[in-house]
């Protein structure tokens, strides 16, 4: 009991006691929590009485409470504030966790009890019935119905994949740090504003490179600085470093890891009775079928590429004045901004002084949530999180009752993995008496030097709204059972609430409340806003093509049969052939993620599921039109969206929940209009 991870937290809302947790606590806590849950499951299986919902399903839901606490704290810290000790622990835990999960999911006697409850589920209330159905489908897809030899082989595959996924992630994080681009003088970074230049100098200082400037890499291909840097050679260096991650040789090369992951996933799928990994993943999604995914992506790709090539012609007309006759990947962002300014008089870089971090959060993200849902926020500096950068807010409902805690961790650091994401530290569920949620948003905004304001790019503002949509899903979900809590929904549905929340960024009354100059307080000029709205569809050919290229690459890797995967020996050649076959091999538009740094699909839980973003965007675009047609950001509209979609968490079929909100199935036309693909 001296281990703080192995007892319920006494802090408000069950916030983990991070100041008391040391690195050496994690391994013993995992060991103890694994053993505890195995004993609890053994007790369920050993029961002499017939299987019932209470003695089997509810007992399973109550099992592993310490493990939930340990994993929530550990995986939050290992992704947000890691170190070599935590990296080593994660590598050790990965196969142990896979074995523990398999010991439960592949337990034939336990699954027999689940099948018994499943057969009698029709007498249960809707949430309990849905929970039983989830247990059954997850057991079937996990391989619980296979014979002993097949289950042993399956467990071996799962252990190998756990190790490989962790290796991929750690290689990528290390390579991202090592390949950061060092510049000797500020002239090479001409075009950056004072705050950005200050951030690159601060990054150099943190690495002991005083007097130099370091551009740290981000998760996706390229870098936001490419839209501003006037020095073409500097742009090329940054793009080359970004695309070299995991494929340049050395100890962090991910090529062999990618091949091994693809091969084992294909073998596992065939063992489970599926043609390939994509078919296995789709079986538990709203898409249901990889052919449906292929049809959608294949329908969108030709129009997107056609638009992108037209955009490239327009950019070339501008670039020729600089002696550039061929637009390259590192030129696209720079000349796109020139074209945007020429056509719409929109300069997104000039908007940064109007997007100061605290104002974006409190007067934008939080303000919009208050307008739509009635919730309010109060910062809690008395509560201590896992890193000094991670700030904590208490969240209240309209009647001042508590909803939970929101933690915002916005600055980049070498100990944090790339990208932006939401974590849950505490899931609301009434079964275990967890009445409130604790959720975390992470971003990677470059930290300016001390005393300088944190000014966000246009894309970073959008990301802040997006990730807060996930946070709202976690805060609002009100369920009885832990397995149905928060964002535990189909993977190709989970991005829907976050994408809907992006609409609030440019909603007139929201934008007017937060987009104010950090020094003068003057609002964003109205003519800029009008131009911004007019340019909404600008550059959609590029954005859709780079996204579709990554999605199609993900699908191609995971539609390989076991035999087909064995025949792939070169990652680069395979990817090039896949993009060519899909018609998205556009030289000046690389995929948003290449295979060796495609964290979503090779370590981030979106394997064969990166299509989810545009699949969910169909629902998102349809929902935004509903809000527009029904009066905008009214409390009534917010309450309907909250109660029928966000509030149900994973306790309903997601498409049934959507129909309850919208009154019908989603249609694709709003998405086509948004992306200029009519």
Average pLDDT, rounded, for the chain:
96
Give me 71's structure tokens. 């994993």
Degrees (nearest 5) of the Cα angle 81, 87, 93? Answer: 115
pLDDT at residue 110, as a whole number: 97
The residue to which tokens 């990947």 are assigned: 329
pLDDT at residue 352, as a whole number: 93
Q: Give the tens place of pLDDT for each residue, 650-667.
A: 999 999 999 999 999 999
pLDDT at residue 459, as a whole number: 93
Helices (H), 320-431: 329-344, 357-359, 366-373
Look at residue 379 and tell me whether its pLDDT is greater than 90: yes
How far apart CA 527 and CA 581 sit, in angstroms, is: 44
Annotation says 467 is catalytic? yes
How far apart CA 118 and CA 112 sit, in angstroms, is: 10
How far apart CA 578 and CA 28 sit, in angstroms, is: 45
Q: What structural domains and CATH numbers belong to the chain?
A: 4-105+107-145 (1.20.1050), 179-244 (no CATH), 255-346+538-610 (1.10.1370.10), 353-534 (1.10.1370.40)
pLDDT at residue 346, as a whole number: 84
Yes or no: say if 657 and 645 are a contact pair by the CB < 8 Å rule. yes
Q: Give the tens place of pLDDT for each residue, 498-554.
A: 999 999 999 999 999 999 999 999 999 999 988 888 888 899 999 999 999 999 999
Looking at the DSSP assignment, which residues form a beta bridge with residue 393?
379, 406
Coil, strand or helix at 446: coil
How far apart CA 38 and CA 30 sit, in angstroms, is: 12
pLDDT at residue 315, as a whole number: 95
Query: Residue 205: how many CA atoms within 13 Å on its side-chain side?
Result: 10
pLDDT at residue 1, as a whole number: 56
Burial bucket for residue 50 (CB in 10 Å: 0-12, 13-18, 19+): exposed
How far apart CA 241 and CA 243 sit, in angstroms, is: 5
Degrees (nearest 5) of the Cα angle 53, 58, 61? Answer: 145
Using alpha carbons, select from 329, 243, 254, 166 the residue that is nearest to residue 571: 254
Give me 303's structure tokens. 């129009």
Cα dihedral 328, 329, 331, 334, rounded to 10, equals 160
DSSP conformation letters of 192-203:
B-HHHHHHHHHH
Q: Give the tens place of pLDDT for each residue, 310-346.
A: 999 999 999 999 999 999 999 999 999 999 998 888 8
Helices (H), 348-457: 357-359, 366-373
DSSP state of 356: B
Predicted TM-score (pTM) of the model is 0.93
Q: Give all strands of the β-sheet with 402-411 in edge-to-edge order.
A: 376-379, 391-396, 402-411, 437-445, 421-426
Q: Which of 45-54, 401-410, 536-545 has the lowest mean pLDDT?
A: 536-545
Q: Give the tens place of pLDDT for each residue, 265-279.
A: 999 999 999 999 999
Q: What is the CA radius of gyration of the chain?
A: 25
Catalytic, out of 394, 467, 495, 502? 467
Give me 218's structure tokens. 């981000």
Query: Residue 271: how many CA atoms within 13 Å on its side-chain side?
Result: 23
Yes or no: say if 130 and 484 are a contact pair by the CB < 8 Å rule. yes
């Amino acid at each position: 009991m001296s281990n703080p991870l192995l007892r319920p937290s006494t802090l408000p809302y069950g916030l983990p006691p991070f100041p008391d947790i040391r690195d050496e606590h994690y391994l013993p806590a995992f060991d103890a929590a694994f053993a505890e849950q195995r004993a609890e499951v053994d007790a369920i299986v050993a029961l002499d009485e017939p299987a019932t919902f209470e003695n089997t399903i509810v007992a399973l839901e109550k099992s592993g409470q310490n493990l939930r606490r340990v994993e929530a704290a550990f995986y939050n810290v290992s992704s947000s504030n890691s170190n070599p000790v935590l990296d080593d622990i994660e590598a050790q835990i990965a196969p142990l966790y896979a074995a523990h999960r398999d010991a439960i999911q592949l337990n034939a006697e336990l699954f027999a009890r689940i099948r018994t409850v499943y057969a009698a589920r029709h007498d249960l209330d809707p949430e309990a019935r849905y929970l039983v159905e989830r247990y059954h489908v997850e057991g079937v897809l996990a391989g619980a119905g296979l014979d002993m030899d097949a289950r042993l082989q399956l467990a071996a595959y799962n252990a190998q994949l756990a190790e490989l996924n962790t290796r991929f992630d750690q290689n990528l994080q290390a390579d991202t740090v090592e390949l950061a681009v060092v510049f000797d003088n500020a002239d090479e970074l001409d075009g950056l504003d004072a705050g950005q230049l200050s951030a690159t100098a601060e990054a150099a200082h943190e690495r002991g490179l005083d007097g130099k400037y370091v551009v740290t890499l981000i998760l996706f291909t390229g870098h936001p600085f490419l839209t501003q840097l006037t020095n073409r050679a500097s742009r090329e260096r940054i793009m080359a470093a970004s695309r070299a991650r995991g494929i340049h040789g050395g100890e962090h090369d991910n090529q062999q890891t990618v091949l091994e992951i693809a091969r084992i996933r294909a073998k596992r799928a065939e063992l489970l009775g599926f043609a390939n990994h994509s078919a296995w993943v789709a079986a538990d999604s709203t898409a249901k079928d990889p052919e449906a995914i292929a049809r959608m992506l294949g329908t969108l790709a030709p129009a997107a590429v056609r638009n992108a090539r037209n955009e490239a012609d327009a950019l070339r007309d501008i670039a020729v004045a600089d002696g550039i006759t061929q637009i390259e990947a590192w030129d696209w962002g720079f000349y796109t901004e020139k074209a945007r300014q020429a056509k719409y008089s929109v300069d997104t870089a000039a908007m940064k002084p109007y997007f100061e971090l605290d104002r974006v959060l409190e007067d934008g993200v939080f303000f919009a949530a208050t307008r739509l849902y009635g919730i309010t926020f109060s910062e809690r500096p008395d509560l201590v999180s896992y890193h000094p950068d991670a700030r904590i807010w208490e969240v209240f409902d309209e009647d001042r009752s508590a909803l939970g805690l929101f933690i915002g961790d916005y600055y980049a650091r070498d100990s944090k993995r790339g990208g932006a994401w939401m974590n849950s530290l505490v899931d609301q569920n009434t079964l275990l008496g967890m009445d409130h949620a604790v959720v975390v948003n992470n971003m990677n905004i470059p930290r300016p030097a001390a005393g300088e304001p944190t000014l966000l790019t246009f894309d970073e503002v959008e990301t802040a709204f997006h990730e807060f949509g996930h946070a709202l899903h976690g805060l609002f979900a009100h369920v009885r059972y832990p397995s149905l809590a928060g964002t535990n929904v189909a993977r190709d549905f989970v991005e829907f609430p976050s994408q809907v929340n992006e609409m609030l960024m440019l909603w007139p009354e929201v934008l007017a409340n937060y987009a104010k100059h950090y020094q003068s307080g003057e609002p964003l000029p109205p003519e800029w806003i009008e131009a911004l709205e007019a340019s909404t569809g600008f550059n959609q050919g590029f954005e859709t093509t780079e996204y579709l290229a990554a999605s199609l690459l993900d699908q191609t890797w995971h539609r390989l049969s076991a035999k087909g995967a064995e025949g792939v020996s070169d990652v680069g050649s395979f990817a090039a052939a896949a993009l060519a076959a899909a018609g998205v091999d556009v030289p000046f538009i690389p995929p948003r993620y290449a295979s060796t740094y495609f964290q979503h699909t090779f370590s981030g839980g979106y394997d064969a599921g990166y299509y989810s973003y545009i699949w969910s965007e169909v629902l998102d675009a349809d929902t935004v039109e509903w809000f527009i047609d029904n009066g905008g950001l009214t409390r009534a509209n917010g309450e309907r969206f909250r109660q029928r979609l966000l509030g149900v968490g994973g306790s309903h079929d997601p498409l049934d929940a959507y129909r309850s909100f919208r009154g019908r199935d989603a249609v694709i036309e709003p998405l086509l209009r948004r992306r200029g693909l009519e």
